[in-house]
Amino acid sequence: MTLFKKPASVKGTLLTLLLPAGILLMVLAWLVHGLLLDRMSRSFLESRLKDEAAFLEHQIRNANGELDAIKTGDYFQDVFHHAFAVHSPSKTLVSPKAWRPLLMPLLEAGSDGITRVQESVIPEAPSDILAYRTSFQVNQTPVVVIVSEDLGALKRSQGELHAWTAIVSLLLITLLVAVIWFGINLSMKPVTPIKAALKRLQEGEDSRIDVEAPEEFQPLVLQLNQLLDSLDQRLERSREAVANLSHSVKTPIAAVRQILEDDTRPLDSQLRHQMASRLDDINKQLESEMRRSQFAGPQVGKFAHPIDQARDLLWLMGRLYPGKSFELSSSLPEETRWPIEEHDLSEVLGNLLDNAGKWSKQCVELELKQANGTRQVIVTDDGPGVKENEITQLGQRGLRLDQQMPGHGLGLAIVEDIVSRYSGKTHFVTAANGGLRVIVEL
- If one compares 442 and 79, the residue with the highest pLDDT of the two is 442
Assigned superfamily of 306-441: Histidine kinase-like ATPase, C-terminal domain (3.30.565.10)
Q: What's the DSSP call for residue 338? A: B
pLDDT at 290: 62
Closest to 324 (Cα-Cα) out of 355, 298, 302, 351: 355
* Mean pLDDT value of segment 115-120: 78
- Average the pLDDT over 416-432 and give the result: 84
Please report the pLDDT score of residue 403 as a whole number: 43
Q: What percent of the chain is predicted at pLDDT more than 90? A: 3
Q: What integer pLDDT is reported at residue 245 of this predicted model?
A: 64
Is residue 106 within 8 A of residue 84, CB to CB? The reply is no
Name the architecture of domain 13-156.
2-Layer Sandwich (3.30)
Helix axis angle, 218-261 to 269-293, nearest 10°: 170
In the predicted structure, residue 34 carries a pLDDT above the cut 60 = yes
Does residue 351 register a pLDDT over 60?
Answer: yes
Q: What band does 284 get if pLDDT is binned at 50, 70 and 90?
A: low
Whole-number pLDDT of residue 291 = 58
The DSSP-derived string for 422-442 is TT-EEEEEE-TTSSEEEEEE-
Report the Cα–Cα distance between both ends of the chain, in Å, rounded. 48
| Least reliable range by pLDDT among 57-66, 92-101, 257-266 | 257-266
Q: What are the residue ranges spanned by the domains of the chain? A: 13-156, 231-293, 306-441
167-193: average pLDDT: 80
Q: What is the mean pLDDT of residues 332-360?
A: 86
pLDDT tens, position by position, 39-63: 887 888 888 888 888 888 888 888 7
C-alpha dihedral sign at 128, 132, 136, 138: negative
